[in-house]
Structure 1
Amino acid sequence: MATRRLRQLQPILQRCTQRPFFPQPAQSELIQVTPKVSLFTDKVHIKVQGLPSKAKVTLHAMTEHEWRRKPAQFVSCSHYVASHSGEVDLQKDASVGGTYTGVEPMGLFWSMQPCPSGPQNIRMVVKNVDRPVLYKLSVYMGHLPLSDLHIKNTQHEPLSALEVERVVMPSNARRIPVREGTVRGTLFLPPGDGPFPGVIDMFGLAGGLMEIRAALLAANGFAAFALPFFGYDDLPKTFTEQTFDYFEDAATWFASHPSIHPEGVGLIAISGGAAVGLMMAWHCPQIRAFVRINGPGFHGFMNLHRKGMLLKKGVGLDMDKCPVTEEGQVMKDGWIFPEEDIIPLWERDVHMLTLISDDDGQYHPHVGDMHKKLYPEDRCHLIEVVHYPGAGHLLEPLYTPHCRTCYNPFFGQDLLWGGYVKEHAIAQEDSWQRILNFMNKYLPSSS
C-alpha cells in the first residue's frame, strides 16, 4: 500500500515549486520530515538534528485556513529535551509539555488549536482539496507556551523552519463537478478505468459542500460522491426546504454511473446528514453498506416529504432540555421519540457501522445501542456499534484537529460538540481505518 501511495504522490513531488509558501530561515536542514509531501491521512517521521546536547526545545506547527470567510490560523507546540547527540525524534521521544505530551509521532497535527491571538471556537475545514494543506514546522530554544509564541510584539526567532505539504487529493485522481438534473456535488474518481466501489459521502446541518472525506476516499481506491443537500449552488437555502426526492435521485444517478461498480454502493453520513442517510439506506435499493457517524436512529426533527407526500414525520425536540452553556448549546437530552420512531433498517439487507462518540453534546450515546437492541436476533449480523470514550461529535478524517465547540449556521449559534483532544484523536484514527475496512468488506471490489 505504501508503494502505491508513493506512486500516486510522485506527480505532486515532481511539481513542487522552489518558492515556499512560508518564509524560511537558513537552517531549514535542522528539521527533517519524511516524506516532505504526504497524504493527509498518512504518518510522517519528524526529527530535529544538530541541537546542543540535552537542549530544551519547542517544536511548533502552524497552518492557515479560513473560517466563515475570514483568515484563521491553527497552531500547536510540544516540548522536548534533546539527546546527548543533539537529536529529537518524534517516533521515540516523549513531549514533556505543550499541546500534547508523551510519544506521539503525529501530535503536532492532531493537537492543533485556534491561534491564541485569533478567533476561537472555530473548526478547521479544508475547502480546496486539489491543493495541498501547508504546514510550517519550526524549532525554538527553550520550552515556550503557545501564548508566548503568538503574543504581538514578542519576538522569538526559530532556530530552523520547514514547510510540509499534506495532500488531500493526489494529482492523478479526478475531481468532477456534478450537475445532473437537480443533483449537485462533486465526484472523485481514483486513477484507472474502473468500475470502482462507490461511496456517497454526506456531512451535516452546517450545509454547503464538504469534499475532504470524499477526496480521501478516492485516494484509497473508492469512487466517492460528495453530496451537499442545502446551502450550495442552486440547492435550497435551508434543509427544511429539501425533499427526499433529491436523495433518491442522487443515489440513482451515482449507482448507475459507468465508473461505479453496478452491484450497489456505500453511504457515509454524519450528524443531521446521518438522519437522512438512514432514510436513504432504508428506502434506496442501491445502498448496501452504511456508516452512521454520531447520528440518530430516527429521522430528525423536520418532516421529510417525497413526491409531495409526507414520507416521515420528524421527532420532537424539547428545547427546555437543550441548555445553552458557556461553550454552546447541548441538545443530546432534548430528543423525544418512542421506539416506533427508530428506523427499521433491519428490514433490508444493508450492513450498518454505527460510530458513537460518548462525549457527544448533540446525540446521546445510548441511541445507537437502542437501535441495535431492536434488531431481530437473526439480523444482528447486519449492525456493528463502536463507542469512543471521550470523543466529541465531529469525528472527521484522522489528524483533523479536534473542535469542541463552534458556530452552526443552521441553528444560528455555537453548539457544544464535546470531546477531549487526545481521546478524540484516538477515535478519529480508529474510525477512519474502520470505515475503509468496512467499505472494502461489503462493497464489490474494483475490476
Structure 2
Amino acid sequence: MKRKIPKKPGPRIEIASRNMMIDQKPEIWVRGFVPHNHVVITTETIDETGVHWRGKTPYVMNTQGCLEIAAAESEGEEVEETDPWEIFDAMRPADTPDGPVPLFAWRTAEPIHIEIHVNAQNGDSAQSSLHLCLFDEATTIREDVREGPLQGTLFCPKGDGPHPVVICLGGSDGWFTEARPALLASHGIAAFSVAYFGGDPLPETLSEVPLEFFDRAVDWLNAYPAVDTSRLGIYGYSKGGELALLLASRDPRIRAVAAYSPSSVVWQDPNGGAPKSSWSEGGIPLPFLPMYVSGMKILKIMTGRPVAFRECYAQGMERHPEQTEKARIPVENIAGPVFLVSGTEDGVWPSSEMADTIETTLKDAGKDVTHLKYPGAGHLTTLPGLPAPEVMDTLIFGGSSQNSSRALEDAWQKMVTFFQATL
C-alpha cells in the first residue's frame, strides 16, 4: 500500500491571536503564495455609524512566497517584515476613498471586527479575520455611574488594589466616551470617563461649564475601595486637554496630567452669539480669550463648507494680548509631571505652539514636562491602531491621516508608560 503524501498547504493567512488589544501589534503571516508574486492585502470593517471602511496595501512575497506582518522574529524563515498597523491605518470609507479621511466613529468599548483578504496577481487568494479589542473583560471591571450630574463609566483592573486612577475627559462634545478609558484600564490603571456637559442634567452647551463636576467625580472615587485617589491623574484631548490642564493647575490632588492637542489659555465657548467663557467656578465665569472669526470664515460656516479654525484662535491671541495673559492657564501650579502631545499641522487650533508655551512655562518653573510634537500630524484626539481623521464633518483637523495615525500610535504607548511611572 502506497503511503499518502500530505498536500502542501495552499495560500493562507495565519494570525497568532484573533482577539488583540487595539494598541498591541498583531502577528500575521501570509504563506503559501508564489515566490516574488505581487499581492494586495485588503482590510475591511464597519464603524458605529454604519460607514464601510476598506484599505488596500500592496506587497511583494519573498523567495518562499511568504510575508510577515508582525513585530515578532521568525524562526528560520526568510520573510519580509512590515508594520501590522499599516494595513489598518490604510482604511478609508469605501464610498469616498480619495476624499479627506473622516472620523472613524467608535465611542464604545466593543471590539472592532476586521476582515482581511489577500489577493495575488495569479489569482491565488486567502482570507481571515480578527477582533481589535478595547475592553478586556478577563482583567477589567466596567462600572456605570449615573448619579444626577455625575455621568460616566469607570473601568477598573481586577485583582489586588487599590489601583491608581485617571479621570478621562473627552473633547468639545463634552460627553463621556468608553474606548480610551477601557483601553487604559487594560494596562493596570483605573480610568474614569466623566461627562462635563452635553446632556441632562449637565449643561447643554460648552458655556460657563462649572468646574465642580470634578469634585463630584473625585468624591465618588474616594468611596470606591479598588482605587487610590492619592495616585490620581487626569487625561484629556482637545477641549478636554484645555480642561485637564486647567483643573490640574487648581487642584493639587492631581498628580499627573496628559493633554493631547492642548490649549495654554481658557478660550471662549464655541457657540454663536456674544462670547462667554467656557468654564466657571463658584458661579463665576473664568477669564477667557475670544476667537477672531473673519467674514470669510462665517460665510464658510453658513454655507456648510469645510473650515479650519486654527487662524481664528491664533488671531484671537494676536489681537488681545492683555486678555491672553488674564486667560492663561497657570500650569506652573500643577503638582505633578505633565505629558503633552501635539501635531504641527493641527487645523483646529495652534496646539503645537500652545504646547510649546506650556512646556517653556513648566521648564522655567523647574517642573517635569514631556512634549511630543509630531511633524505633519493634525489635531490628535483619536484611538491608536485606526485611521486618524483629517476632517470631522466640516471641521478640518489638518495634517495627513498617515502622519496623525503614526503619531497617535506612538504617543499612546508613551502615555501609558508615563502614567505607570508617575502614579
Structure 1 letter corresponding to 2:416: L
Does 2:106 match 1:126?
Answer: yes
Residue aligning to 2:179: 212
Q: Please state if 1:308 is matched with 2:274.
A: no
| Residue 334 (1) aligns with residue 292 (2) | no
- Tell whether 2:346 aligns with 1:380: no
TM-score by length of 2: 0.83
Counterpart of 1:41 in structure 2 is 23
The aligned residue for residue 265 of structure 1 is 232
Cα offset, 1:321, TM superposition: 8.5
**Change in CA separation of 1:142 and 1:282 when aligned onto 2, cut-off 3 Å:** same
Query: Percent of pairs identical after alignment?
Result: 24
SS at match of 2:310: coil
Measure, in 1, the Cα distance between the counterparts of 2:357 and 2:172. Answer: 23
Q: How many angstroms apart in 2 are the aligned matches of 1:29 and 1:327?
A: 47
Structure 1 residue 322 displacement after superposition:
8.0
Asked whether the equivalents of residues 252 and 286 of structure 1 are also in contact (C-alpha less than 8 Å), the reply is: no
1:108 and 1:48 map into 2 onto residues whose CA distance is: 13
Show the counterpart of 1:200.
167
TM-score normalised according to structure 1 size: 0.79
In the alignment, structure 1 residue 90 sits paired with structure 2 residue 69: yes
Computed over aligned residues only, the root mean square deviation of the Cα atoms, in angstroms, reads 2.7
Q: Distance in 1 between matches of 2:362 and 2:325?
A: 12
Displacement of 1:61 after TM fit?
Answer: 0.3
Name which of 358, 365, 370 aligns with 2:357: 370
One of 41, 44, 55 as aligned partner of 1:62: 44
Q: Give distance in 2, aligned partners of 1:340 and 1:79.
A: 53
Structure 2: which amino acid aligns with 1:103? T
Task: Mark the CA change 1:322 to 1:162 in structure 2 (over 3 Å): closer, same or farther.
Answer: farther
Aligned length: 384
1:253–1:322: structure 2 CA closer, same or farther, 3 Å change rule?
farther
* Aligned match of 1:77: 56
Q: Which moved more, 1:316-325 or 1:197-206?
A: 316-325
2:130 maps to: 164
Moved over 6 A (4+): none
Partner letter of residue 261 of structure 1?
Answer: D
Tell me if structure 2 keeps the 8 A contact 1:112–1:402.
Answer: no
Report deviation, 1:345. 2.0
User: 1:120: Cα distance to partner?
Assistant: 6.9
What is aligned with 1:6? none
Distance 1:112 1:334 in 2: 31
AA aligned opposite 2:306? G
Range 353-362 or range 416-425, more displaced: 416-425
Aligned pair partner of 2:252 in 260, 285, 308: 285
- For residues 21-52 of structure 1, the C-alpha deviation after alignment (integer angstroms, 9 at most, x for no partner) is xxxxxx99711112222111111122211212
Which digits, 9 at most, give the CA deviation of each residue in 1:122-156, with x for residues without a partner? 31132331x3211000111339xxxxxxxxxxxxx
Report Cα offsets for 1:229-263 as digits up to 9, x if no partner: 22346433322263222233223333553221131
Flag the 1:88–1:106 CA change in 2: closer, same or farther, 3 A: same
What are structure 1's unaligned runs of at least 5 residues?
A: 1-26, 93-101, 144-156, 408-413
Q: Deviations over 1:383-403 (max 9, x none)?
A: 222211111113433212110
Further displaced range: 161-170 or 332-341: 332-341
1: CA distance, partners of 2:366 / 2:341:
16
Residue number among 294, 300, 310 corresponding to 1:320 in the alignment: 294
Gaps of 5+ in 2: 1-8, 72-80, 270-276, 318-323
Give distance in 2, aligned partners of 1:394 and 1:300.
19
Q: 1:423 aligns with which of 403, 406, 410?
A: 403
CA offset digits 1:354-393 (Å, max 9, x no partner): 111111012212111122333473x333322221111111
Among residues 226, 242, 250, which one is paired with 1:275 in the alignment? 242
Matched residue type, 1:45: E
**For the structure 1 residues 77 and 345, does the alpha-carbon distance in structure 2 shift closer, same or farther, using more than 3 Å as the test?**
same
User: SS of the residue aligned with 1:162?
Assistant: strand
Using the TM superposition, give the Cα deviation of residue 121 of structure 1 relative to its aligned residue in structure 2, in angstroms: 4.9
Contact 1:65 1:124 in 2 (8 A): yes
State the alpha-carbon separation in 2 of the partners of residues 160 and 301 from structure 1.
Answer: 54
